[in-house]
Structure 1
Amino acid sequence: MEFSEEKICELCGRKGIEITIHHLIPKKEGGKDMPTARLCIPCHRQIHALYSNRELALRLNTIEKLQEDEKISKYLRWIKKQHSLNDIKIRKSRERRMKK
């Protein structure tokens, strides 16, 4: 993880946040050596709370596809308004909670 004023989340575009590396195709789905994206912690957590690794690998394997998806686009409209130092709480989607 990295922290710097220069760091920008590739998904939400917020600046000055801690960055994590997100495998666009999850490692468990064969994406270990595949492209990655630099995401803030809340965005990274939200993606994995909303979608299964299989869904990420098959349907949502680019930043553009993620940004266009209905569930994450609602979240992105909200997170862009949040200060980078706010403690963001993440909840799993109803579908993901029901599967467990």
Structure 2
Amino acid sequence: MPPGARASRHHLLPRLKGGTHRGTVRLHHICHQAIHARFTEAELARHLTEPEALRAEPRLAGFLAWVAGKPPDFHAPTRISRDRTPKWR
């Protein structure tokens, strides 16, 4: 998390799935928006409850590589992905 960046807290287990009092991680705000634009609450609860799993997810990896080159205060609107349907095998 770069100094001066807009941050937010991400519940590792979504609140709607029982994660109200469980762990959270501090994320760059644009990354937090990207996570919720790409994954449903059910997907997050079933498969993406660890930061490492989120970083490794192909639907997010390209975005993370792209945003890594932006300045810490970078912000852009985030839209819900057309690719938001579950892809688990």
Settle same-fold status: TM greater than 0.5.
yes
Identity in percent: 32
Match of 1:52 in 2: 40
Displacement of 1:84 after TM fit? 1.6
**Deviation per residue, 1:35-80 (Å, 9 max, x gap):** 1110111011110000000100110111000000001111000010
* TM-score normalised over the length of structure 2: 0.87
2:80 corresponds to which of 83, 88, 92: 92
1:40 paired with 2:28, answer: yes
TM-score, normalised by the number of residues in structure 1:
0.78
**Cα distance in 2, alignment partners of residues 90 and 39 from structure 1:** 15
Gapped runs of 5+ residues in structure 1?
A: 1-7, 9-13
2-side partners of 1:68 and 1:41: how far apart?
A: 19
> How far apart are the structure 2 equivalents of 1:96 and 1:63?
19
Match 2:10 to one of 19, 22, 26: 22
Q: Gapped runs of 5+ residues in structure 2?
A: none
Q: Which has the higher contact order (CA 8 A, sep 6+)?
A: 2
Q: Distance in 2 between matches of 1:70 and 1:15?
A: 27
Tell me the equivalent position of 2:67: 79
* Residues in 1 aligned to 2:32 and 2:17: alpha-carbon distance in whole angstroms: 17
Q: Does 1:64 align with 2:52?
A: yes
